Amino acid sequence: MNIDAFVTAEVQEQPRLILTTLPEKRRTLRLWELRLLLNQPQLRTMYVYVQTPDEAQAIFGFVQQGQKLVLG
């Protein structure tokens, strides 16, 4: 899954940070770009989701492996 950007939203009074994705062949955010964008105090308290073609799925953590993030 390639992360392209993120958006914020409030769903059922719950603040969400939603990561959006792109098809495999397009250029996506590099890990350092994503970290720089997400380094904002107001984003740290939001629930994190990743948008798939079907729905937004909750993310419960991550592990960095090389230059990739493994989302949990």
20-69 pLDDT tens trace: 887 666 666 777 777 787 788 888 888 889 888 888 888 887 777 887 77
User: Per the structure, how many domains does the chain have?
Assistant: 1
Q: CA–CA separation, 39 vs 34, rounded Å?
A: 9
Beta carbons within 8 Å of 63's beta carbon, 6+ residues apart = 69, 70, 72
- Residue 49's domain spans which residues? 2-71
Q: CA–CA separation, 49 vs 11, rounded Å?
A: 12
pLDDT category of residue 10 using cuts at 50, 70 and 90: very high
